[in-house]
Structures are given as structure tokens and as C-alpha cells.
Chain A
Amino acid sequence: GAVVSQHPSWVICKSGTSVKIECRSLDFQATTMFWYRQFPKQSLMLMATSNEGSKATYEQGVEKDKFLINHASLTLSTLTVTSAHPEDSSFYICSAREGRFVGDTEAFFGQGTRLTVV
């Protein structure tokens, strides 16, 4: 079946530096990918919708200048956490669905990236 792959699985960075997370759809094209953030013992919170060839759509309260999203191809979206701070430490997860009419199709999720900012 279709697979969504995230890289890296975990990363530790120093406060003030930037971190890039990649999300790839391995055997299907995804015009849209979604980025979620999950804090310990909480549910997934949608951060933004990544659209191939256009600007991402951010959810209310998510800083677009801090969380840069690039969806340069139909199989790759990247999330860059700029000037990371300890409060950005979280589990970041991407998701993609194949096709346009998606209610009747499953969503695929990456394995997640655990970011720790020290």
C-alpha cells in the first residue's frame, strides 16, 4: 500500500537554530499534504495544509514565518522550524491522501519526527 515517509525520525537541536523535516509520498502523488503537531498526552493538532506549487494554508494561531512549509513537488513537502525554542519541542507528523475526492480514501501518515530543542 501507499506509504508516507518522514525524515528524520528524531532530531535534537540548539535553541535558535532551524530544523527541516521532510515528508515524502513514496508511491503516489500528493497534491496536498498536511502537517500536525502533537504534544505529550494530547491529540494531533493540524498546523497547516501544504499545497504543491502554491502557498501553504496555516491554521489559526500557527505562525507562518516560524513554520515554513515548502511543497515543491508532488511527492515532497518540507516543514522548517525556524529559530527553534524549547517550547517548539514536539512530535511533528505529516499526512497525505491520494486523489482528489478523498472522503472515500484512507489517509496515510508518516512515522513522525520528535523534535527536542535544548
Chain B
Amino acid sequence: DAKTTQPNSMESNEEEPVHLPCNHSTISGTDYIHWYRQLPSQGPEYVIHGLTSNVNNRMASLAIAEDRKSSTLILHRATLRDAAVYYCILSVNFGNEKLTFGTGTRLTIIP
């Protein structure tokens, strides 16, 4: 399985943008890049996913490098409710592919 590498932790001030990086240098052409987040004592929650082009939704933006070996999750204006562990995961597009979680990035929002 292609692996991802994320910083263990990051801090950001409330109401400022947050850029969460993810390296996936062994990504294959059929791997989608998924981001999920997990709030304390809850199951993970979908954030965003993409293949090659940058993606935007109501929660965040996903910027994918041209060579696809890295990506960045962008929270445009962090709130205290965005404090969570963020996971960057690769997912192939065939079969009922399981999602394998790495250690993720623990994001702390400073009021």
C-alpha cells in the first residue's frame, strides 16, 4: 500500500487559515487522496478527496501537487471546532478498498 507522511502535530490561531501537509511520494496513478478528521471520542468524518485537480467544498480545500507526490488540506478560517486529528489516506478506485489510517496530524486551535 502506498504510504502517507504527515507532521504529528500543528497549531494554528483561531480565525486564521491552516495548511496541513501530506507527503505521498509512492502514490500510484489510480490512488485518490482522501482526508478525514476525527474529533475527540467520535468516529472519523470525511473532509474532502481528489485525484489530480484541486478541490473545494464547504469544509475545506485540497491542493494537489502537479506530480501528485504531496497534497495540502486547507482550512480557510479555523475555528475551535476544527481541533481534531486529520488523516491523509490514499484509496484506489476499484473493489471495496479498505482505508488504512496513519498517525495523522493533531491540530490544535489557539483561541
- Please report A residues at the B interface, Cβ cutoff 8 Å: 4, 6, 31-32, 34, 36, 43-46, 49, 91, 93, 95, 97, 100-104, 106-112, 114
Contact = CB atoms under 8 A, between A and B. Distances in A.
Q: Is the interface of B mostly helix, strand, loop or mixed?
A: loop
Nearest to A36: B101
Contacts of B93: 101-104
Given A43-B104, A101-B93, A102-B91, A107 B99 contact: yes
Interface in B8-59: 30-32, 34, 36, 38, 41-46, 49, 51
Contacts, number: 72
A100 B98 contact: no
Given A32-B96, A34-B99, A101-B94, A106 B46 contact: yes
Contact of A112 (B32, B41, B102): B41
Contacts of B51: 103-104
Given A102-B91, A107-B34, A112 B43 contact: yes
Contacts of B98: 34, 46, 49
Nearest to A99: B96
Contact of B42 (A34, A43, A49, A111): A111
Contacts of B87: 43
A114 B36 contact: no
Given A44-B38, A107-B36, 10 more contacts: A4-B43, A43-B102, A95-B43, A102-B91, A103-B31, A106-B34, A107-B46, A108-B46, A109-B45, A112-B42
